[in-house]
Amino acid sequence: MKPELKLAGTEKAKIIARDGHSISRKDIAPNALKVLYRLTSAGYHAYIVGGGIRDLMLQKKPKDFDVATDAAPEEVKDLFRNGRIIGRRFKIVHVRFGKEIIEVTTFRADHARSNEISNHPARRKIKGLDSAHSESGLILRDNVYGNIDEDAMRRDFTVNALYYTTDGFRVLDFCSGIEDLKAKTIRIIGNPVERYKEDPVRMLRAIRFSAKLNFTIEENTKKPIDELSYLLDSISSARLFDETLKLMTGGYAEKTFEMLRKFQLGTYLFAPTLEALSESGGSPANLVSLALKNTDDRLANGKSVTPAFLFASLLWPVLKLHLAKSKNLGLPPQKAFQQAAQSAISEQLHYTAIPKRFTLATREIWELQEKLKVRTKRNVDKVFNNSRFRAAYDFLLLREDSGEDLKGLGQWWTDFQVSDSETKLRLITTANKSQNRHKGKKQLARGRGE
Ligand code: ATP
Ligand code: MG
């Protein structure tokens, strides 16, 4: 008998032998393999599952590798000194190797079966079954353990439910995931409405994978999304922040943003931005799409993107609208700016949480936009040495690219950065002369009552 067939549930899988798939151990993170080997030598069954296998099958580089096993979380933890049980909704074990974390989950089953499976091996050490639904069908806790075939059915999309085992190097496919991979299709497992009600974030994931993999969302998987998008209201703003980051930093932000808009899901993540975009258009709207494009380009070139910069861009049209309103109220500029920045950020916080360190940085990027204009020697030194200078300068260029006329300010700072100290001084002098001329003209105009 094939070894993995000893595991209950595997008889339901289509098994793809070593020579029938393109996955090789070499492509799997050594630490994920370590986890697999440790679990299997302790007598458990363990598989790599999810995005890791999906991406390898597509010849793409996986972001991470997740492990699924029949060992209970407590049992997994006992095997790894570097293992920690986390999560309340889903109990999982994080096995840490320096910066890398391998996520180990115990096979889960359907809630309806929670009464039948109290003898499941993974339940030996667990006190009390633990599953709960809200009235709307939302899963509140999901720690009901089951067999591998049941675990596959609890996953979101068929292409995310492929299991790889080093025991014979086989791939197990319980729900035609391989076929869907070939057809480039995102298909939800089970009844779409039920699955979205259980966890509305699956709608966001459908969009994310479709944009990232360039896959079509299968008709039944797509149909209910528009109508059920409101379910995102019930998801905590902290989880929505995490999902938003994944959506915006997956390398396909521009396309993802458009899709989110089209499916009405955007309203539950970026309502202030979308409202401002529909009201204002022009350069603030250009800035948003350019920022998303830039984000994708940066990631494609191996550069990093920060949430602070992302929110500074997404909320720029909101800030601009607030600024226009407070100008009408006749507030002094500094005060008007403070209020506008505060309002733009707090409006967004109704939708996604944003950790304070990021909102502070977002505000700084905005605040520096005014400071970049003042080119006295003292101010230039101060701004240049500010830890957010780089982000603020990038943002300035983005504003110019989006069509704002900033009188060559971006070019000035570009020149400044590459100049020797003598040229720097010359640049400062020239800038001040032209600024004074500009001021003089304004005063003259005011004096004439223009
Ligand atoms: P990537 O890591 O590239 O973003 P992924 O598919 O690996 O994509 P993860 O969030 O790492 O996504 O989740 C790992 C696996 O866990 C998924 O492939 C899927 O099988 C399962 N999963 C994750 N989130 C859900 C969910 N909300 N509902 C059902 N299954 C899920
Ligand atoms: Mg993953």
pLDDT digits (tens, 9 = 90+) for 379-411: 999 999 999 999 999 999 999 999 999 999 999
Query: Tens digit of pLDDT for each residue in 55-82?
Result: 999 999 999 999 999 999 999 999 999 9
Are 271 and 170 in a shared domain? no
* Ligand 1 touching residue 295 (CB < 6 A): no
Residue 124 forms part of a structural domain: yes
Q: Whose CA is nearest to atom 30 of ligand 1?
A: 155
Are 270 and 397 in a shared domain? yes
* Ion ligand 2: residue ranges with CB closer than 5 A: 51, 64
* Ligand 1 touching residue 173 (CB < 6 A): no
Task: Quote the distance between the C-alpha of residue 13 and its chain's center.
Answer: 32
Query: Tens digit of pLDDT for each residue in 232-287?
Result: 999 999 999 999 999 999 999 999 999 999 999 999 999 999 999 998 878 889 99
Q: Which residue has the tokens 């396909």?
A: 252
Residue 223 forms part of a structural domain: no
**Full domain range(s) for residue 326:** 265-418
User: Of the candidates 146, 176, 153, 155, which has an alpha carbon nearest to the alpha carbon of residue 14?
Assistant: 176
Given a contact cutoff of 8 angstroms between Cβ atoms, the answer to whether 185 and 161 are in contact is: no
Are 160 and 278 in a shared domain? no
Question: Who contacts 171 (Cβ-Cβ below 8 Å, separation ≥6)?
Answer: 15, 16, 20, 21, 23, 53, 57, 162, 163, 164, 178
Task: Quote the distance between the C-alpha of residue 350 and its chain's center.
Answer: 18
Are 164 and 313 in a shared domain? no
CATH code of the domain containing 129: 3.30.460.10
* Active-site residue, 70 included: no
Residue 371 forms part of a structural domain: yes
- The structural domain count of the chain equals 2
Are 179 and 274 in a shared domain? no
Residue 251 forms part of a structural domain: no
* Active-site residue, 199 included: no
The kind and range of the H/E element at 47 are strand 46-49
Listed residues 183, 212, 230: the one ending a domain: 183
Candidate list 70, 142, 151, 156, residue with the active-site label: 156
Residue 242 forms part of a structural domain: no
Mark out the alpha helices in 250-352 (DSSP H runs): 253-262, 267-280, 282-300, 307-314, 316-328, 333-348
CATH code of the domain containing 328: 1.10.3090.10
Percent of the chain, pLDDT > 90?
79
Smallest-distance ligand from the CA of 49? 1
pTM metric for this prediction: 0.90
Residue 21 forms part of a structural domain: yes
Q: How far apart are CA 282 and CA 403, in angstroms?
A: 8
Residue type for position 83 = G
Residue 59 forms part of a structural domain: yes
Listed residues 146, 166, 183: the one ending a domain: 183
Residue 38 forms part of a structural domain: yes
Are 34 and 170 in a shared domain? yes
Listed residues 183, 203, 233: the one ending a domain: 183
